[in-house]
């Protein structure tokens, strides 16, 4: 079982819909990262959080440390939001390590 | 644009050869991490360098090695290439280490194909 699980694997939405992507992890973490990857490979960091909630424009990320769960929400989705969204965690142990989810492929149709 | 650059963009090598990939970090960032992303999968952490010393390593064999230079540029070297090494290799710089509790700034990646 992967230490970082994302759901759903694939998501198709109509423009304007509210979108939620979930991430669960099973290890102790220092921080959780939400990343966006467009076709071609480039990755952009959207959020880094270790508690609570962060908001940037139409994007909101939340984390529940006790439940080891995070969500990424997109309000008023737009076709340009189509990308792969990846959850990653910095792992607490005696060695710097980062573990990634497999990603959620989001397609927003006009 | 993150200010992190990688070269080359694409590379084709033959099994058994050696390859060097390069990364130039964002100005002022003293930490660089390297990742391997196979097609259709999430990235995997290879290793991290902080102030020219390896500061963490994922589950990759010793034939994956790295260097970080005083100007914060870095290299990923892979010896004895195998077909499974075909992947997108990403570097990311950050302003600190501390168990990845600093924002990562990713480069565009180098796509390596091993034939």
B31 touches A at CB < 8 Å: no
* Percent with pLDDT over 70 in chain A: 98
Are residues A96 and B48, on separate chains, in Cβ contact within 8 Å?
A: yes
H or E, element range at B10? strand B10-13
pLDDT of residue A97: 85
* A:B CB pairs within 8 Å: 80
pLDDT of residue B96: 77
pLDDT of residue B12: 98
Q: Which residue in A4, A31, A42 is closest to B100 by CB distance?
A: A31
Q: Do A102 and A6 form a contact (C-beta atoms < 8 A)?
A: yes
Dump the DSSP string for A41-109: S-EEEEEEESSEEEEETTEEEEEETTTTEEEEEESS--GGG-EEEEEEEEE-SSS--EEE---EEEEEE
pLDDT confidence band for A94 (50 / 70 / 90): low
Whether the pLDDT of residue A95 is over 90: the answer is no
- Strands B110-114 vs B10-13: parallel, antiparallel or unpaired: parallel
A97 touches B at CB < 8 Å: yes
Whether the pLDDT of residue A7 is over 70: the answer is yes
Lowest mean pLDDT among A9-13, A41-45, A57-61, B30-34: A41-45
Cα–Cα distance between A87 and A84 in angstroms, integer? 10
Mutate to test the interface with B, among A98, A100, A102 (most CBs of B within 10 A): A98
pLDDT of residue A91: 86
User: Who wins on pLDDT, B87 or A97?
Assistant: B87
Task: Per-residue pLDDT tens, chain B, 115 aa: give them.
Answer: 678 999 999 999 999 999 999 999 988 888 999 999 999 899 999 999 998 999 889 999 999 999 999 888 999 999 999 999 999 999 999 887 777 778 889 999 999 999 9
Using DSSP, state whether B73 is helix, strand or coil.
Answer: strand
Whether the pLDDT of residue A92 is over 70: the answer is yes
């Amino acid at each position: 079982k992967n230490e970082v699980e994302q759901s759903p694997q694939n998501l198709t939405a109509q423009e304007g819909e509210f979108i939620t992507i979930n991430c669960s992890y099973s290890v102790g973490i220092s921080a959780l990262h939400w990343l966006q990857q467009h076709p071609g490979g480039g990755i952009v960091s959207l959020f880094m959080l270790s508690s609570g909630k962060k908001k940037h424009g139409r994007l909101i990320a939340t984390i529940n440390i006790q439940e080891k769960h995070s969500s990424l929400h997109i309000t008023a989705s737009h076709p340009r939001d189509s990308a792969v969204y990846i959850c990653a965690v910095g792992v607490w142990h005696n060695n710097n390590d980062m573990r990634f989810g497999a990603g959620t492929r989001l397609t927003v149709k006009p | 644009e993150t200010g992190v650059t990688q070269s080359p963009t694409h590379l084709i090598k033959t099994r058994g050869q050696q390859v060097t990939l390069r990364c130039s970090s964002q100005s002022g960032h003293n930490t660089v991490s390297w990742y391997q992303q196979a097609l259709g999968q999430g990235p995997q952490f290879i290793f991290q360098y902080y102030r020219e010393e390896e500061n963490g390593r994922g589950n990759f064999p010793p034939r994956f090695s790295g260097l970080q230079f005083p100007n914060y540029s870095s290299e990923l070297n892979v010896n004895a290439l195998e077909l499974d090494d075909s992947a997108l290799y990403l570097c990311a710089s950050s302003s600190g280490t501390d168990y990845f509790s600093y924002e990562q700034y990713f480069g565009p990646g180098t796509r390596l194909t091993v034939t």
